[in-house]
Structure 1
Amino acid sequence: MSADTTTADRPLTVLLVAETYPPDVNGAAQFGHRLARGLHEQGHRVHVLCARPGPGPSCRAEDGGVVEHRLRSHRAFTHPYFRLCFPWQVAGEIRRVLDDVRPDVVHVQCHYILGRMLVREARRRGIRTVATNHFVPENLEPFLPVPEWVLERYRAVSWRDMVRVFGACDVVTAPTPLAVRTMRSHGFPDTVLPVSNGIRIADYEAHGNERPRADRPATVLFTGRLAVEKNVDVLIEALSLLPAELDAHLELAGDGEQRPALERLARGLGVAQRVHFLGYVPDDELRAAYLRADVFCQPGTAELQSLVTLEAMAASRPVVLADAQALPHLAENGVNGWLFTPGDAQDLAHRLALVLGAPPEERERMGRESRHKVAQHSFPRTLETFLRIYRGDRPHTLRVPSQGPGRFRTRLVSLVR
């Protein structure tokens, strides 16, 4: 990295590398797109290297000033939208992009095909390299139709491979302290940094006297992919167990391979008239869905952060979340919502009833607590942190929780090793 890369007022040229990127709908894709837009808005040159979302040769396009290099890709047959770039088809294109763009920093979002290729090539060229991990092996296990003993082997190999690929990077981050601790427990060094994915909080706040209609039914909201690991079936079952006098409805904003099975489940449990499948909704409609909900629920058990939960909290909604992965860091029992035992529909129904049966002023209080808690996840703060990481500012440090024997200790870790 050249000396003037560290000059605070010099615009940077950043190459973001994403295994999944819009039009894909998931947290990692959303983060990559938000980061690209945020960097561009601050005057930096931003290029994104990602898979082409359909068949065809590699191509270059522009999205609001962000240059996208879409590489030739192939459908992964066990996944509804994930695309694979074969190394022998894209290696030359990757080298050409690096030759043309000449980035100050390469920021990869995954250790799979594109990530590993860019880490290797960037290090060979002496380009500063940053990695953010959005992945745990459980994310892909529902799409691997193999026996459990094979999955156990896959988990072990996947973690070792991730350590090897990301070990060549200058800085490695993950969205939450819990994600960092998970990575350390699988062989990563204690220099991995927690940096929130961040959200634009103002995008989800109510405007002025904006209020939902008083005559609407009590509403539970889930947003996200209708995928196995999201456990939406547990949420539908919980809806069927709620007291009849609550007359609660469930809105599901999102789509996915589990939708037909979930529709059948709702019919079988006799709640089809109270389960509303909204499908994919644009941002303005999603914001409206957050604001009209009485409570947001995330029953998933493979969340490294859950951007949709942060969005609901920014909209001042109480939350009921599975007590798994990073979700316990977002809900405090009785303060801004409740945690429930993962997979336990009866416990989930009980927690939802505590919110839905509470007086309106109590729900409003819990919503205010959610909004207060989400402040630390503001996207401007995330953007500032990554810019410091990109520039390698040595004076700045981050407090990073580190796991000791039976307790947590805190150490100061420089942004530059």
Structure 2
Amino acid sequence: MRISVFMKTGDADTMYYLSALVATKLFSRIDVFRDQSAMPLDGVVYHKNHLFKKGFVRLIERFLSALLQKDRPDMYIGVYEIPHGVLAWFVSRLRRRGFILSIIGNPGHTGLRKGVRLYIMKHMIRCASAVTVTGYRSKQVLKDMGVNEDKVFALPNSIPVELFKDLSIKDRPYDLISLGRISPEKHIDIILKIVQRLAPDLELQVAIAGRGPSVEGIEDMVKRLGLNQQIRMLGYIPDNELESFFNSGKIFVVCSETEGFPRTILQAASCGSLIVSSSVGDIPEIIRNGKNGFLVAPYDNIDEYCSFITQALRDSDASLNMSQRLQKEVHNLFSTESAAKVWVSIFKSV
């Protein structure tokens, strides 16, 4: 069997997603259409743009490159609805092949999926042979939209757990760490407010990593609140430094207003960090409040973040027990091999 995948995820996320497909051993070849090549994998052929690197024309080049392939694949996969889900859908219709849509993120996020975008998503789902989402809560969202649940598969994000080990660092330098896209819906500003609120009792050391449109605003807020001595803005963390970064923090904090199933939670947990996260998207499917981490609702409940963080830092033994419990679950349930089993069931159904 041969498949073609359209995607624009980061190099690491691309590798994790494709590794699960490779691990199924179902495919003789996987053609991947994206901006550039990523890590070499057995049977994976990358088709990067040669003529256009930016703008809408690069998508046209990608579309034509897939459409003009000499040998037709058996199935097309689009990762994210727009634009790569649309590209995979169009090519599949023109070449009379099946189409799988992978929704990464919360399909019920009304701030993003509304109007024309929501209409396109629903139409693609109706045409798709199968749809993957990151958890059963997201599957329920699609079911509530009227989607046939038999074609929707919960495909949790996975990681190569062997690349994210707990390095057993006795004194981790940061109390709190955060990594991800720094954008409005991620609410990194809440972390700053937490640090300010706890300042009289706890002088937290915090590392915030990532890039995005809100970086300058967050940096200005750090200065305005006088938190320069407590908060470090690290910017982009290369893939080969992620394990070290996650081992630098005692607590990994997520304050997002909306999420699907962030892979960073799995990476941090695999490295032994305790998770304190907003209770959104599919995150409650892995984090059980007070058992293997802490969940905050609503996402902007600063009092609750402060309470959980204070509790975790003052009772290190309980925190260690929770983080070790989650670490074992991540290794058992969210490995590449676990995701491969889901893909096998998907392709059996289509």
Give TM class, smaller chain. Answer: 0.7 to 0.9
Letter in 2 for 1:197: N
Check conservation: 2:187, 2:256, Cα contact below 8 A. yes
Letter in 2 for 1:95: L
Give, in whole Å, the separation in 2 of the partners of 1:276 and 1:292.
Answer: 13
Tell me how large the CA RMSD over aligned residues is. 2.7
Task: Report how far residue 239 of structure 1 moved.
Answer: 1.1
What is the number of residues matched between the two proteins? Answer: 342
* Distance change >3 Å, CA 337–CA 89, structure 1 → 2: closer
Letter in 2 for 1:387: V
2:235 is matched with 279
Check conservation: 1:340, 1:348, Cα contact below 8 A. yes
* Distance change >3 Å, CA 39–CA 354, structure 1 → 2: same
Task: Report how far residue 108 of structure 1 moved.
Answer: 1.4
Any idea what SS the aligned residue of 1:272 has?
Answer: coil
Check conservation: 1:294, 1:363, Cα contact below 8 A. no
What do residues 4-53 of structure 1 show as CA deviations (whole Å, max 9, x unaligned)?
xxxxxxxx3221111x2335xxxxxx443323245447574221112x37
Any idea what SS the aligned residue of 1:285 has?
Answer: helix
1:110 is matched with 80
Give, in whole Å, the separation in 2 of the partners of 1:114 and 1:289.
Answer: 31
Runs of 4+ aligned residues of structure 1 deviating over 6 Å after TM superposition are 137-140
Where does structure 1 lack aligned partners over 5 or more consecutive residues?
Answer: 1-11, 24-29, 54-60, 76-82, 142-150, 393-414
Check conservation: 2:105, 2:259, Cα contact below 8 A. no
Give, in whole Å, the separation in 1 of the partners of 2:325 and 2:266.
Answer: 12
Letter in 2 for 1:15: S
Q: Which moved more, 1:372-381 or 1:172-181?
A: 372-381
Task: Report how far residue 157 of structure 1 moved.
Answer: 3.4
Give, in whole Å, the separation in 2 of the partners of 1:307 and 1:255.
Answer: 16
What do residues 180-215 of structure 1 show as CA deviations (whole Å, max 9, x unaligned)?
112222332222111112112222122xxx32243x
Task: Map 1:307-346 to 2 at 5 A.
Answer: 307-341=263-297, 342-346=299-303
Give, in whole Å, the separation in 2 of the partners of 1:308 and 1:166.
Answer: 27
Letter in 2 for 1:285: E
Give, in whole Å, the separation in 2 of the partners of 1:137 and 1:174.
Answer: 8
* Distance change >3 Å, CA 186–CA 15, structure 1 → 2: same
Any idea what SS the aligned residue of 2:303 has?
Answer: helix
Check conservation: 1:74, 1:84, Cα contact below 8 A. no
1:32 is matched with 14
Task: Map 1:327-366 to 2 at 5 A.
Answer: 327-341=283-297, 342-358=299-315, 360-366=316-322
Where does structure 2 lack aligned partners over 5 or more consecutive residues?
Answer: none
* Distance change >3 Å, CA 62–CA 22, structure 1 → 2: closer
Task: Report how far residue 307 of structure 1 moved.
Answer: 0.6
Q: Note if 1:95 corresponds to 2:73.
A: no
Give, in whole Å, the separation in 1 of the partners of 2:134 and 2:287.
Answer: 17
Rg comparison, structure with higher value = 1
Q: Note if 1:380 corresponds to 2:337.
A: yes
* Distance change >3 Å, CA 90–CA 325, structure 1 → 2: closer
Q: Note if 1:48 corresponds to 2:32.
A: yes
Q: Identity percentage over the alignment?
A: 18
Higher relative contact order (CA 8 A, sep 6+): 2
Any idea what SS the aligned residue of 1:226 has?
Answer: coil
TM-score w.r.t. the length of structure 1 is 0.74
Letter in 2 for 1:158: R
Q: Note if 1:190 corresponds to 2:190.
A: no
What do residues 381-407 of structure 1 show as CA deviations (whole Å, max 9, x unaligned)?
1023213423x2xxxxxxxxxxxxxxx
